[in-house]
Amino acid sequence: MSDSSDNRERVTYGDEKVERGSGGETHQVGARGRPTLTTAQGAPVADDQNTLRVGERGPAALEDFHFREKIFHFDHERIPERVVHARGYGAHGYFENYAPLTDITRADPFQKAGQRTPVFVRFSTVAGNKGSPDLARDVRGFAVKLYTQEGNWDLVGNNIPVFFIQDAIKFPDLIHAAKQEPDRGFPQAATAHDNFWDFASLMPESTHMLMWVMSDRAIPRSFRFMEGFGVHTFRLVNAAGESTFVKFHWKPVLGMQSVLWNEAVKLNGADPDFHRRDLWDAIQSGNFPEWELGLQLFDDDFADEFDFDVLDATKIIPEELVPVQRVGRLVLDRVVDNFFAETEQVAFCTQNVVPGIDFTNDPLLQGRNFSYLDTQLSRLGSPNFTQIPVNAPKCPFANFQQDGHMAMINPVGQVNFEPNSKTGASSGPRENPKAGYRTYPAVEGGEMRRVRPASFADHYSQAAQFYASQTPIEQKHIADSFVFELSKVDTPAIRERMVANLRNVNDQLAATIADGLGLPQVPPASPAAAEPRLDLPISPALSILRNPPESLAGRKIGALVTDGTNAAIVAKLADALAAENVVLEIVAPKIGGAKLSDGKLLPADQKIDGGPSVLYDAVVVLASAAGAELLAPDATTKDFISDAFAHCKFIGYVDSAVPLLDGAGVAPDADDGLVPLNGRNGVAKFVKACQAGRFWDRELLVDQT
């Protein structure tokens, strides 16, 4: 990481040395080379421990300007959190283009092979407040700001390619229904309550998205293991003014991975920052998260022939029908310097497009184009939010906008209007008909009406397609989450209405959910605006498990060690995992570490109480005989093993640790997901087994409800 003090200019005022930072701020250098603490006005502070008082035990003096300024600033530290997507985490990086795409777009990032465009990405959950846990069942925001040479392009997407609603006018209702109920102020970051399901069950257009949200997609293992989507159909426009429709995809290079619901619930307690910590750790350790940008390109003919309306954001275009072409990669290689300045103040606006990128008439997108700019004013408090470094373009920019709260950039010189008769630089900027942004001249017309087109009427066919495209275990997870969520709904009629809707998706699914809820009978299917098509071909790309990762890279394995643990096995494991680019974390009874069989102290990363197995993709239990005896009655150790087993994780173990497995109710030979490490190639076998991610065969045995 670069040391910002390197950029500092040192000047001398009288006897005092003053450092000037790159932002122009100054610090007086006091004792031992440290800058002197000053007020915001620059006055040096002599005492930051005590308020100014009249007499040792007397009242505080109003003239204590240092105290008043400090508290005043503190009182105003918060800005309004985002109405949605309040909980988020961002990082810097770049987009690298593979090959020129000049035939389809004149957008700057796609003009040359190897061209790099700086980016800032913010991932988020939607429903929870800023301090809510990371593993809520929710859609994840995947917002990318590309600082192109022709302005900022914001691709403000999600990790799910469809949305709940078709028209932006329903967004406030959707979000009101999803967030805490207004009278009680809970539940936090959870849709498992009456209001959400009341709304959802009355809005059949939400069904497709509900299938995704009830699937494992809504509880990703981390941001690094999830896809991203631009959702809407956009336009790419080339230099000749020709348009191609496009859907944007982000494909994670490490592959997709999710956690189990029971695991998510426990993760939220063990580490509410699990996702942000994962991103921070990955970047700080040089394992830069990476996604490939994929484009689905199609023309008007395809749009006219396709079974669904390409302007309807509740629909996908299956990848099998229009392949995703990978055109570049997004690499996140730098964490923020300051969370507030960058992640909190970043202001994405869907209206931020650059020449070569254009909108379509998707009614959600059209509504969003109003909402984002508007929301920034109330969050950031000034139209000058564009001047905050994370929001400012990195290309030259010039206009006659001026003044307003916190204006840092103002026109220089006499002229702040156009046209003007001045010449040269002092005459200010001028429009550029050649290089300037030109809207695609789509021909529009028709009656001005509030109407939902008939082409948006099919609410169930793609929901059915999504369900049919999942593996049986993923289908089970979908049914389980519907049952979980609807079991938190107090009003029986809402539960029934939802099941009635789901009969239009899949009868078996509806029956399983009805049974899970203990409904006396499966309700009849609700009437559908358009007859659902249950014959759409399955789309394997929609399943996480049908698309397993190519390697274990980026995963994390937890090793439970005690005093006396076999040092040779630890060393072997460390080597084998390093070769796979897998992180090994040492979990021990004490954070100081454990003295292994070779007499050496191995420092721990986690004390067992703070290192439950939910933090890891797989675990190994390496306790020595004496260590196993010590830990056998320990409840946390039992949880470590029994949770790993219940979450279908691969568990490696040494012979001396078998009593711990027994104590946790896990037979060491219960299934092939338990791998003995002592034998020949034990470690290699374990590492190989872990490639499968989870040992799913176990799930039906450990989950009986």
Query: Which residues would be at the binding site for ligand HDE (CB under 6 A)?
Result: 82-85, 88, 122, 124, 141, 143, 156-158, 163, 168, 171, 231, 313, 346, 348, 364, 367-368, 371-372, 375
CB closest to ligand HDE, residue no: 141
DSSP character at residue 425: G
Closest distance between ligand HDE and the C-beta of residue 549, in Å? 24
| DSSP β-ladder status, 583-588 and 606-607 | parallel
Nearer to ligand HDE, 224 or 368 (CB): 368
Which tokens sit at 309?
A: 């309306």
Contacts 24+ apart (CB under 8 A), 238-244: 238/102, 238/103, 238/104, 238/105, 238/106, 238/356, 239/102, 239/106, 241/438, 241/440, 241/441, 243/358, 243/440, 243/442, 244/104, 244/105, 244/297, 244/298, 244/299
Residues 6+ apart with CB under 8 A from 424: none
Alpha-carbon gap, residue 386 to 397, rounded angstroms: 11
Alpha-carbon gap, residue 557 to 84, rounded angstroms: 34
Kindly name the residue from 66, 85, 92, 232 that is annotated as catalytic.
85
Alpha-carbon gap, residue 149 to 507, rounded angstroms: 53
Alpha-carbon gap, residue 61 to 59, rounded angstroms: 7
Alpha-carbon gap, residue 682 to 471, rounded angstroms: 30
| Residue 158 among the catalytic residues | yes
Alpha-carbon gap, residue 307 to 460, rounded angstroms: 13
Closest distance between ligand HDE and the C-beta of residue 438, in Å? 25
Which tokens sit at 382?
A: 């000034």
Nearer to ligand HDE, 171 or 212 (CB): 171
Kindly name the residue from 66, 92, 152, 158 that is annotated as catalytic.
158
Nearer to ligand HDE, 347 or 544 (CB): 347
Closest distance between ligand HDE and the C-beta of residue 408, in Å? 21
| Residue 85 among the catalytic residues | yes
Nearer to ligand HDE, 390 or 587 (CB): 390
Q: Which of 385, 367, 387, 365 is nearest to 376 (CA)?
A: 385
Q: Which of 294, 20, 270 is nearest to 157 (CA)?
A: 294
Nearer to ligand HDE, 36 or 375 (CB): 375
Closest distance between ligand HDE and the C-beta of residue 344, in Å? 9
Nearer to ligand HDE, 463 or 623 (CB): 463
Q: Which of 554, 557, 550 is nearest to 649 (CA)?
A: 557
Closest distance between ligand HDE and the C-beta of residue 376, in Å? 6
Name the burial class of residue 237, with classes exposed (0-12), middle (13-18) and buried (19+) by CB atoms within 10 angstroms of its CB: buried
Closest distance between ligand HDE and the C-beta of residue 130, in Å? 12
Name the burial class of residue 106, with classes exposed (0-12), middle (13-18) and buried (19+) by CB atoms within 10 angstroms of its CB: buried
Nearer to ligand HDE, 372 or 696 (CB): 372
Q: Which of 172, 485, 167, 535 is nearest to 498 (CA)?
A: 485
Position 396, amino acid:
P
Phi first, then psi: give them for residue 556, nearest 5 degrees: -135, 130
Nearer to ligand HDE, 367 or 668 (CB): 367
Closest distance between ligand HDE and the C-beta of residue 311, in Å? 13
Closest distance between ligand HDE and the C-beta of residue 141, in Å? 3
Q: What are the catalytic residues?
A: 85, 158
